[in-house]
Amino acid sequence: MTGKKGFRTWFWAAAGLVGIQLLVLAGLMNFRQRQADDAHEWSLDPQAVAAEADQERESREALKNLPVPQGTVRLTVSAAQAAAPQAEDLLDQARDLQSRGQLDLAEKILSQAQAKDPANPRIRIASALLAEARQDPSTALQRWKDLIRMSEEGGSIRRLALARSRVMEERVRLEQVARAREDSLAKSPRKLALAGVEEKNMEAGGRSILWKVRAVGGTDPLDPRQVVVRVSFFERGQDGVLKKSDPTLPRWEQGPPLNEKEGVRSVVSEMRPGAGSSYAGYSWQIFYQGELQDERIQPASLRGVLREIPRS
C-alpha cells in the first residue's frame, strides 16, 4: 500500500515537472517568436531624417530657380514642335507639366529644350531634378555629373550638382541594397511571397496600395491566424521633414493565400496625409509564424532614413 502511494506521489510529481517544463518551453518559443517578430520593425532614424530634410530643402531651393508658369497651357509634343518655341519656353512648359504630374511628357519637352540649347544650365538642372521626380536615381546621377563637368568650378551650379550627385549615389546604393535583400528573401525558405504591387492616387494627396501575395511551395495549408501584414506610411511635412503617417490597418480582400492552388490574393491599405503634408512612401512586410517572408520599401531611398529596431 505504501509502495502504491509512493508511486502515485512520484507519478504526480513527475507529471507536474513535465507540465512545468512544457509551460517553460511554450513560453520560450513564444518569446523567440516575439523576438523574431520584433526584430524587423522599421522606424525613422532622427539624425538621418534631419540630414534628408536638409537635402530636400536644397532641392527646393534649386526648384525656386526654375519657376513654374502660372498659366494653364497643356501642350502635346506635336503642338510644341509646331509652335517652334525657344528653349526657355520649352523649359517653362516642361516645369508646368511636371507640376501637374505629367512626367513622361515633361521629359520629352525637356529633351527638345536641351537639343535647342545644350549648354543652358537651367535646362540641365531641370532635367536632373525631373529624373529624381521619376524615381530614376541612376539617370539623375548621370545628369548631375554632366552638369558638374560643364559648370564653373566653385560656382553655385557646381556646388548644387556636387551635392545632388552625392545624394543620387546614395540612392543608387540603396536600390542595390533593396535588390540584394529581396534576392536574399527569395532564396530563403518561406511560405509567402510578394507577387506585385498596384498604387493608386486618391483625393487630397492620399494613396491606395494593393499588394499581391502568393503562397510558396508545400502541400500543407497555411494557418491564416499566423499571417501578419505590417504597413507603415510616411509623409513629408510643410517643413520638409519625413514622419510616420497615422497608423492604418491593411485588409485582405479574400483572406491570405493558404496554398499555391489559391493563386494570388490581395491585401490593401490606404493613407491620407495630414494637412499641409504630402505622401512620401511606405514600408510593407509580411510574416508567417513570426518569421519575415517578404518586404517592400518604396521608394528605395527610404532605406536611408529607416532603421530596424525592437518594437516597444
What phi, psi does 13 have (nearest 5°)? Answer: -65, -45
pLDDT single digits (tens) 32-78: 344 344 445 677 878 888 887 887 777 667 556 543 333 334 445 55
Mean pLDDT value of segment 210-233: 92
Q: How many of the other CB atoms lie within 10 Å of CB of 197?
A: 13
Grade residue 13 by pLDDT with cuts at 50, 70 and 90: very low
Mean pLDDT value of segment 20-42: 44
Pairwise pLDDT comparison (140 vs 47), residue with the higher score: 140
What pLDDT, on a 0 to 100 scale, did the predictor assign at position 145? 95
What pLDDT, on a 0 to 100 scale, did the predictor assign at position 25? 38
List all residues 6 or more positions away from 58 whose beta carbon is below 8 Å from its beta carbon: 160, 163, 164
Instruction: Assess whether pLDDT exceeds 70 at residue 206.
Output: yes
What pLDDT, on a 0 to 100 scale, did the predictor assign at position 307? 80
Instruction: Please say whether the beta carbons of 264 and 214 come within 8 A.
Output: yes
Pairwise pLDDT comparison (252 vs 13), residue with the higher score: 252
CA quadruple 205, 201, 267, 231: dihedral sign = negative
Domains identified in the chain and CATH numbers: 38-45+189-309 (2.60.40), 68-175 (1.25.40.10)
Name which of 42-51, 77-86, 110-119, 141-150 the model is least confident about. Answer: 77-86
What pLDDT, on a 0 to 100 scale, did the predictor assign at position 101? 81
Pairwise pLDDT comparison (243 vs 73), residue with the higher score: 243
pLDDT single digits (tens) 270-287: 999 999 999 999 999 999
- Tell me 221's DSSP state: P
Partners of residue 283 on adjacent β-strands: 232, 297
Cis omega before residue 299 (within 30°)?
yes
> Helix and strand tally (H, E) in the chain?
8, 10
**What is the C-alpha end-to-end distance of the chain, expressed in Å?**
57
Q: Report the share of the chain in percent with pLDDT over 90.
A: 42
What pLDDT, on a 0 to 100 scale, did the predictor assign at position 302? 87
Name which of 147-161, 177-191, 238-252, 291-305 the model is least confident about. Answer: 177-191
CA–CA dist 173, 79 (Å, integer): 39
Three-state DSSP string of 143-191:
HHHHHHHHCCCCCHHHHHHHHHHHHHHHHHHHHHHHHHHHHHHHHCCCC
User: Which helix or strand (DSSP H or E) is residue 217 part of?
Assistant: none
pLDDT single digits (tens) 148-201: 999 888 888 888 889 889 889 988 988 888 888 878 887 888 999 999 999 998
What pLDDT, on a 0 to 100 scale, did the predictor assign at position 70? 38
